[in-house]
Structure 1
Amino acid sequence: MSLPRADGEAVRRPVARRLAPYVAELKAELRRTWRTPAFVLPCLLFPVLFYLMFGVLLGRGEAGRYLLATYCIFGAMGPALFGFGVQLAVDRASGLLTLKRALPVPPLAPMLARLLMALIFAVVVAALLIIAAHAVGEVVLTPSQMAGLIGVSALVALPLGAVGLLIGSHVGADAAPAMVNLFYLPLALLSGLWVPLSMLPDVFTRLAPLWPTWHAAQLALHTIDEPASGSMPVHVGVLALVTVIGALLATRRLRRIG
């Protein structure tokens, strides 16, 4: 009876050893992030506060429901863009990225840890928004709609993380926050995340399909049965394309300059 147990342990040990660097990187990323309240608090609280102002206090009728979906996308943007873009630029400038390359750590471990962190933030922000919308905005969602909205919010971390990675691989630590904001704030406005595009000039609606965040917003609206534009497979395809192109270009850049 001892042999099967020994064989099982022999199988588990190599798996545990292979996963250990990834787990260590995730723990380090968690500690570093949660010890930076100047990053954590705005990422968690700003989307909720903005939703309470625009979706509840100033919203009328279905506005609260529409803006719940779009603010979930907005809440996922910050951690992905800043977590990848700014932090990668800082790691490059401080030499931490070069040091990790010299260590016996899988090359993807730091990026996967950062991606998981962005996913965690997206899920937490979406959950806080759903709670606020239900408690204050009287927005009622079914369990499947809640799960779908949270899932789409987590999905946004992939393309926006790739965009942040691309920014962080091209600019220095001093310029990274400004460059990220050049994408962060305009994308939120141009994609109709703060206010519906119907309230803005027609040119905003015509240009909206150019932005990945607009496609993400349409997916979010679709999950809660709100009117959405375009084809859902097309939206998923655009987000996947942005993820692949951004990750490939950033990887190519980092291989050349570090």
Structure 2
Amino acid sequence: MSTTAIAHPVSSTGIAHTARIFAKETKYEFLKLLRARSFSLAITGFPVMFYLLFGIANRHANNGNIQIAKYMLGSYACFGLVGAALFGIGAGMAAERAAGWLEVKQASPMPPMAYLFGKCATAVAFGLIIVCILTVIGLTMGGVQLTALEFARMLGMTVAGAISFASMGLLLALVIPANAAPGIVNLLYLPMSYASGLWIPIESLPHFVQRTAQVLPTYHLAQLMLSIFGYQNADSLLGHWIGLAGFTMLMLGLSWLLFQRSQQNS
């Protein structure tokens, strides 16, 4: 009597399986925010509107060897990517935490890091979209001349900046109440943007604001972005990288401590 072997499909495991989970979580997180018009239109619309008002409107203006439209392209790129990270992660996660969605995610078999990766990757994606839109406007309407290398470096700086401020968004999501999250994010986001020279060149700001800016992460990000065009201040670029990296590690460290405390109390 012979037996017939029945072949059972082998379930996908390992790195490939985990990568698919991360990719799906990122895909649906991006689609969720893209379809939320109150988020996607506002987060892309504000930097575009400000760039049209202050950058393109001054397309023939120069400050020494600095072309204002090109300077504003870099500064509003920073403004846009910071907003995408803080509102997409900070305000978004705060609302999901209040609704109990984080507990659902923790109870599911999905790797915990997939949720955070999807949030961070979505912030990076929106930052890249904003930079591309601003670049097209600058090239077509502002008389901005941009080399392929400068554009590639802008995209790389956008990824680094979005990851850095995603860490701040994560900390905010863990400490602020959901109903106050948009207001608190704005109270941090808008003053930091103004004081760091993201709206107008920092040299035009009062001296005490210029001194305050040097401790702000948005200032370090802006100087690194503007260095792509040779428009940065005389400060060391290494110092700006150290400042941005230190800020990121501080935010992640505080977030980890708060998360561990919440796990112990639950």
Query: Do Structure 1 and Structure 2 share a fold, with TM-score over 0.5?
Result: yes
Partner residue, 2:154: 149
The corresponding residue for 2:7 is none
User: What residue number does 1:32 align with?
Assistant: 32
Q: CA RMSD in A?
A: 1.8
Worse-superposed segment, 53-62 or 212-221: 53-62
Q: CA deviation at 1:243?
A: 1.0
Runs of at least 4 residues off by over 3 Å: none
Cα 1:228–1:147 shift into 2, 3 Å: farther
In 1, Cα distance between equivalents of 2:71 and 2:195:
16
Residue 125, structure 1, aligned to residue 130, structure 2? yes
Q: 1:181 aligns with which of 186, 210, 229?
A: 186
Change in 2 beyond 3 A, CA 1:170/1:135: same
Letter in 2 for 1:47: P
SS of equivalent residue, structure 1 residue 160: helix
Deviations 1:13-47 (A, max 9, x none): 53322223212211220221112011001111221
Give the conservation status (yes or no) of the 8 Å contact 1:88–1:168.
yes
1:19 is the counterpart of 2:24: no
The aligned residue for residue 229 of structure 1 is 234
Letter of the aligned partner of 2:188 in structure 1?
F
Aligned twin of 1:5: none
1:159-178 correspondence to structure 2 within 5 Å: 159-178=164-183
Query: Could you say which structure has the larger radius of gyration?
Result: 2
User: What CA distance in whole angstroms lies between the structure 2 residues aligned with 1:229 and 1:21?
Assistant: 45
Give the paired residue count: 250
**Counterpart of 1:108 in 2: which secondary structure?**
helix
Provide Cα deviations, 1:51-85, integer angstroms capped at 9, x if missing partner: 11101214512111111111110010111001111
Identity among equivalent pairs (%)? 33
2:47 alignment partner AA:
P
Q: Which residue of 1 aligns with 2:52?
A: 52
Distance change >3 Å, CA 153–CA 237, structure 1 → 2:
same
Equivalent position SS for 1:194:
coil
Higher helix share: 1
Residue-by-residue CA offset, 1:230-258 (whole Å, 9 max, x unaligned): 11111111111111110121122122226
- Tell me, in whole angstroms, the C-alpha distance in 1 between the residues paired with 2:57 and 2:20: 48
Amino acid of the residue matched to residue 144 of structure 2?
V
Distance 1:14 1:257 in 2: 30
Is contact 1:219-1:228 (8 Å) kept? no
Matched, 1:245 2:250: yes
2:180 maps to a residue whose letter is: A
In the other structure, the counterpart of 2:4 is none
CA distance in 2, matches of 1:227, 1:212: 15
Q: Displacement of 1:106 after TM fit?
A: 1.1
Asked if 1:136 corresponds to 2:141, the answer is yes
Alignment-mate amino acid for residue 172 of structure 1: P
Of the structure 1 ranges 224-233 and 60-69, higher mean CA displacement relative to structure 2 is found in: 224-233
Distance 1:170 1:242 in 2: 17
* CA–CA distance in structure 2, aligned partners of residues 165 and 131 of structure 1: 31
Distance 2:170 2:15 in 1: 29
Letter in 2 for 1:236: W
For residues 126-165 of structure 1, what are the alpha-carbon distances to aligned partners after superposition, in whole Å with 9 as ceiling and x for unaligned? 1111111111110101110111112112211122111111
TM-score, normalised with respect to structure 1? 0.92
**Unaligned 5+ runs, structure 2:** 1-9
Residues 1:101 and 2:112 are matched in the alignment: no
Aligned equivalents of 1:154, 1:52: Cα separation in 2 = 24
**Residues 103 and 30 (structure 1), Cα distance of their counterparts in 2 relative to 1, 3 Å cut:** same
| Distance (whole Å) between structure 1 residues aligned to residue 148 and residue 217 of structure 2 | 26
